[in-house]
Amino acid sequence: MKSVNAYFDINGLIDRQVNMFDSINPSLLKKAIIDGKSEISEFIPNDSAWSREFMIFRSADINKPTLINRYTIIENTSDDGSKIMHYVSKEFTKTLVDSLSIYYSPEVQKPLKIHAVLSHNNALFSNEKILDMYFNPMTSMILNYKVQGWQKMISKDSSTFFVEATIKNP
């Protein structure tokens, strides 16, 4: 779907990160806990693997023509002068992204953190995901990210997950 750039451009940000990581080849330390079972892995992703890693964050994109005017924009300034932009759905039942918040560095006005809450509910399935991405304030490169949440299908037990990944520079 075509982007409208009415809100924060998360896809553009991810594209720039994937290009940067492809050129410097950092490794990725990833920890996952799914329904209480944990796994740790470390590897050096290629550009298509980086794209897959950040796919969940692309699902927080609210720059779609169907979403124009579906979000309230709230701007705050913290005590240290950093700006926080909150995009909050006006109709939680009609949008996948309940909220998207961008925390900016006070010095360079580049993202320090992205926080998104996504949910989906219907008669057969419901879920919630909380996404957090943290950036180096000097280089604007992603330092780490977390994805946590749960899902429930009508005739099955709930499933929970937590993934934390740290980018390790070469």
Instruction: Tell me whether residue 138 is in a domain.
Output: yes
Whether residue 147 is contained in a domain is answered as: yes
Query: Which pLDDT value is given to residue 97?
Result: 96
The pTM of the full predicted model, rounded to 2 decimals, is 0.91
**Residue 5 counted as domain residue:** no
Q: Is residue 1 part of a domain?
A: no
Query: 163: closest CA among 132, 139, 135, 141?
Result: 132
The one-letter code for the residue type at 84 is I
Q: Tens of pLDDT along 16-51? A: 999 999 889 999 999 999 999 999 999 999 878 999
Order of strands, sheet of 97-104, starting from the edge strand that comes earlier in the sequence: 37-43, 27-34, 159-168, 142-153, 125-135, 111-121, 97-104, 83-89, 71-77
Q: What domain range is 79 assigned to?
A: 10-168
Q: How far apart are CA 147 and CA 113, in angstroms?
A: 13
Phi, psi of 56 (to 5 degrees): -60, -35
Question: Quick check: is 58 in a domain?
Answer: yes
Give per-residue pLDDT as tens, 50-104: 999 999 999 999 999 889 999 999 999 988 888 999 999 999 888 899 999 999 9
Our count of domains for the chain comes to 1
